[in-house]
Chain A
Amino acid sequence: MSSELKDMNGKPINKIAMMALLLIGSFVIILMQTSLGTALPSLMTAFNVDSAGVQWLTTIFLMVNGIMVPVSAFLNTRVPTKYLYLSALLIYIIGTVIAVVTPTNAFWLLMVARALQAVAAGIVMPLMQVVALALFGEESRGKALGMVGLVIGMAPALGPTLSGWILDQDHTFLGLTIAGNWRSIFMLVLPIAIVVLLISFIYFKNILPTRDVKLNVRSLIESTFGFGLILFGSAMVSDHGWMSFTWVILPMLLGLLVIAEFAWHQSRMKVPFLDLSVFKNRQFTITTILVSLTFIAMIGVEMVLPIYMQRVRGLSPLNSGLTLLPGALMMGALSPLAGYLYDKHGARRLVIFGFSLVFIGTVPFYKLTETTPTIFITTLYMLRMAGIALTMMPLTSSAMGVLRQNQVAQGTAVNNTIRQVAASLGTAVLSSIMQSVINDHTPTSSLKIKDPLEYAQQMLNAGLSGFHASFLCAAGFVLVAFILAFFLHKGKVTAAEPEEEKA
């Protein structure tokens, strides 16, 4: 099989080397998505900005990343694979170098660096998926995406732990001293990215057919503003609440209008910028909804649990990261296995089993107390992540499976876009539910003077009820997904129109 695989110029491809380069490069790029979370406090002091200001480093990444994903459909059909990947790596390296050298009086420069990193992440996330599918045949589609799942599931989960470890103290590794400050977070990934870039010059080949499509500027502007505004609105929910007209309602409404116009426009184009007709396929639609729910369930709890462990339990960012680390590793280990099993059985059985595990692993968090043994948190989290590993990539494989070969780039872009938007909205829902329940239960500040102990107790209870509410909501999302999973096809699905392609 591997000896038959040729690139677009008819030269043989080293499949393993190419896949490895793709996965490692993407891993360091996607790692940046979450790795600044634990570093925000130290960045606040270094750059002398407030917490709302420093939050922008995360928001800008999320927005730019989300804007890039729909554009990826165009990029993947227009730009040869090799140059697309090399430019993504180069953009990432430039962004990271800027971050390393940013003087502490130029916060905007760090924002630019983050935006560049996000552009790279927005390119590689879909690229990784499309290339993996092209490298491996239809019969090992699950295996290919299983490896992709290892990266997109593990990198965001490892990010906070890794930076927590870096920030904890100075480390000496192979005679090199890694200083315990935020610059090291960027410095550590830099050599890896450079090495991957250099080797990719030789081993990365153009594997996807390209067509000379013209960039439709109207679509580009519409998708950028539409998705950008929706992502912006959902990022602002945690600070301003759902009811804030200027920060949340207005941008979301505008975003929705632009997207509606975008969709209408796409349906009338001969060669759409983002082919939304893939939604006409019922299986694709169901699997995309399920992937989105899985993503909400994963990212939402990934965000809420560290807050609980740091605020209620007083754990350091490193230790709270370590509590969740086994779960992330579990997901990494199971993801390729899930891919292998998808190739054997199809998605349905895996997904139903997976969602029941996620559900069983989420409900107990509703009973979290201030003394819950951390080992139980780790265990339940592992159970959840095992379930997520069994659902996410088999679902994506299944979504890709129902599409024709020439629709894969489009399907990937659509699938990933919806997933990103759903994740931001889901996180916004969970964090705002948590915050509003906490606010409702927060005791009056006069009690703090009258009886500080009673005040502390009520604050603790308020925090716990907030966490309980958001975990209950997460469990609700999973339950919906579990029920929807029964509408999946039995067995492995393949495109309905293979005949005309063979003919």
Chain B
Amino acid sequence: MILLILFLFVALAFISLMFLDKQTYVIGGVIGFIGIILSVGLITANMANHFGMETKVTTHKSMMYSATNSKGYGVLLYQPVGTSGKENVYIYRKHEQDQKPTIVKPDLTMTTNRQEIAGNQAYRVIKDTRYVYKNDFWKLMFSIAGNDGELKKRQVTYQLPQNWIALTTQQAKNLQAKMTPKTDEEKAAVAQQQEALAELAQNDPDQAGIKQVQQIKATLNI
């Protein structure tokens, strides 16, 4: 719409200045120019400062599943981006039956964090802040720009209960090496532990998961 208005004002100014007589051309020209400046001003305000728009926050919460084949507990893998470690790439599975894990890389509009929660299910909470038009008038004016619902920023929170653990990909690798028993005594100890865990898992699976997570933390010293 704003483009049509701009076009009309340009046409008005052009026709007045080129084809009309002395008195009328001044009026037409002045109106035309004010119109051109106003419409270009509105376009600029919209493209630079999202004029006519407001921000709207939507939240979407979905379950997530362990990135590895862990039994009884969940693992959220992550890898820091750069050495400052402000942002991470996260790895998890969207559905329980997924063969391949989902990898989420951060970008300029996305920030992530982790949160501990109660319960036994892990969630991924997406909080989107989007630009939407304040009302139908501005929507009609600027809809051609196709910027309705443009993402301003996205905040992703990974909510982990006590039977989940977040590991860097490096830690996950170390863990495997450390957990593999080497001597016969170690093997026997592990077998004993497994038995105890299996028994606990039957009665209280959540508690069993928590116990495993604590074990991993102890092994990796985190």
> Which listed residue, A357, A368, A453, touches B86 by the CB 8 Å rule?
A453
Per-residue contact bits, chain A 454-468, to B (CB 8 Å; 1 contact, 0 not): 111100100000000
Q: Please report the C-alpha to C-alpha distance between residue A119 and residue B14 in the assembled complex, in whole angstroms.
A: 39
Known: A449-B83, A457-B108. A361 touches B33 (CB 8 A): no
Judged by a CB distance under 8 angstroms, whether A341 is at the interface is yes
Per-residue contact bits, chain A 12-45, to B (CB 8 Å; 1 contact, 0 not): 0000000000000000000000000000000000
> How close is A459's CB to chain B, nearest CB, in angstroms?
10
Per-residue contact bits, chain A 354-378, to B (CB 8 Å; 1 contact, 0 not): 0011001101100111011101100
Judged by a CB distance under 8 angstroms, whether A451 is at the interface is yes
Q: By DSSP majority rule, is chain A's interface helix, strand, loop, or mixed?
A: helix
Q: Please report the C-alpha to C-alpha distance between residue A454 and residue B107 in the assembled complex, in whole angstroms.
A: 10
Known: A345-B18, A356-B33, A451-B84. A369 touches B108 (CB 8 A): no
Known: A373-B147, A453-B87. A367 touches B44 (CB 8 A): yes
Q: By DSSP majority rule, is chain B's interface helix, strand, loop, or mixed?
A: helix
Q: Please report the C-alpha to C-alpha distance between residue A331 and residue B13 in the assembled complex, in whole angstroms.
A: 18
Known: A357-B10, A364-B47, A453-B82. A380 touches B40 (CB 8 A): yes
Interface residues in A341-361 by Cβ distance below 8 A to B read 341, 344-345, 349-350, 353, 356-357, 360-361
Chain A residues with CB below 8 A from B14, complex form: 353
Judged by a CB distance under 8 angstroms, whether A53 is at the interface is no
Chain A residues with CB below 8 A from B87, complex form: 451, 453
Judged by a CB distance under 8 angstroms, whether A237 is at the interface is no
Q: Is the CB of A373 within 8 A of B47?
A: yes
Q: Please report the C-alpha to C-alpha distance between residue A154 and residue B37 in the assembled complex, in whole angstroms.
A: 27
Per-residue contact bits, chain B 26-63, to A (CB 8 Å; 1 contact, 0 not): 00000001001100100110111000000000000000
Q: Is the CB of A460 within 8 A of B108?
A: yes
Judged by a CB distance under 8 angstroms, whether A383 is at the interface is yes
Per-residue contact bits, chain B 114-142, to A (CB 8 Å; 1 contact, 0 not): 00000000000000000000000000000
Q: Is the CB of A450 within 8 A of B82?
A: yes
Q: Is the CB of A364 within 8 A of B36?
A: no
Q: Please report the C-alpha to C-alpha distance between residue A368 and residue B106 in the assembled complex, in whole angstroms.
A: 24
Q: Is the CB of A372 within 8 A of B10?
A: no
Judged by a CB distance under 8 angstroms, whether B150 is at the interface is yes
Contact-residue size bin, chain B (C-beta under 8 Å from the other chain):
20 to 34
Q: Is the CB of B145 within 8 A of A373?
A: yes
Q: Is the CB of B3 within 8 A of A375?
A: yes
Known: A375-B145, A379-B6, A451-B84. A353 touches B37 (CB 8 A): no
Number of A residues, CB within 8 Å of B: 35
| Nearest neighbor of A360 in chain B, beta-carbon distance | B40
> Which listed residue, B37, B43, B48, B82, touches A369 by the CB 8 Å rule?
B48
Interface residues in A287-323 by Cβ distance below 8 A to B read none
Q: Please report the C-alpha to C-alpha distance between residue A341 and residue B40 in the assembled complex, in whole angstroms.
A: 26
Judged by a CB distance under 8 angstroms, whether A452 is at the interface is yes
Q: Please report the C-alpha to C-alpha distance between residue A450 and residue B107 in the assembled complex, in whole angstroms.
A: 15
> How close is B84's CB to chain A, nearest CB, in angstroms?
4
Judged by a CB distance under 8 angstroms, whether B172 is at the interface is no
Judged by a CB distance under 8 angstroms, whether A386 is at the interface is yes
| Nearest neighbor of A373 in chain B, beta-carbon distance | B145
> Which listed residue, B13, B44, B83, B147, touches A353 by the CB 8 Å rule?
B13
Chain A residues with CB below 8 A from B220, complex form: none
> Which listed residue, B3, B48, B108, B150, touches A367 by the CB 8 Å rule?
B48
Chain B residues with CB below 8 A from A460, complex form: 108
Judged by a CB distance under 8 angstroms, whether B17 is at the interface is yes
Q: Is the CB of B47 within 8 A of A379?
A: no
Chain B residues with CB below 8 A from A360, complex form: 36-37, 40
Judged by a CB distance under 8 angstroms, whether B144 is at the interface is yes
Chain A residues with CB below 8 A from B84, complex form: 450-451, 454
Known: A357-B10, A364-B47, A371-B150. A454 touches B86 (CB 8 A): yes
Q: Please report the C-alpha to C-alpha distance between residue A454 and residue B43 in the assembled complex, in whole angstroms.
A: 30
> How close is B118's CB to chain A, nearest CB, in angstroms?
32
Chain B residues with CB below 8 A from A361, complex form: 40
> How close is A156's CB to chain B, nearest CB, in angstroms?
24
Judged by a CB distance under 8 angstroms, whether B81 is at the interface is yes
Q: Please report the C-alpha to C-alpha distance between residue A386 and residue B11 in the assembled complex, in whole angstroms.
A: 11
Chain B residues with CB below 8 A from A372, complex form: 47-48
Of the A-B pairs whose beta carbons lie under 8 Å apart in the complex, a sample of 12, sorted by A's number, is: A345-B18, A349-B17, A353-B14, A353-B17, A357-B36, A367-B47, A368-B48, A375-B145, A379-B6, A451-B81, A453-B87, A455-B82
Residues of chain A having any CB pair with chain B under 8 Å? 341, 344-345, 349-350, 353, 356-357, 360-361, 363-364, 367-369, 371-373, 375-376, 379-380, 383, 386, 448-457, 460
Residues of chain B having any CB pair with chain A under 8 Å? 3, 6, 10, 13-14, 17-18, 33, 36-37, 40, 43-44, 46-48, 81-84, 86-87, 106-108, 144-147, 150
Q: What are the 5 A-B residue pairs with the smallest beta carbon separation, nearest first?
A: A373-B145, A367-B48, A364-B44, A451-B84, A451-B82
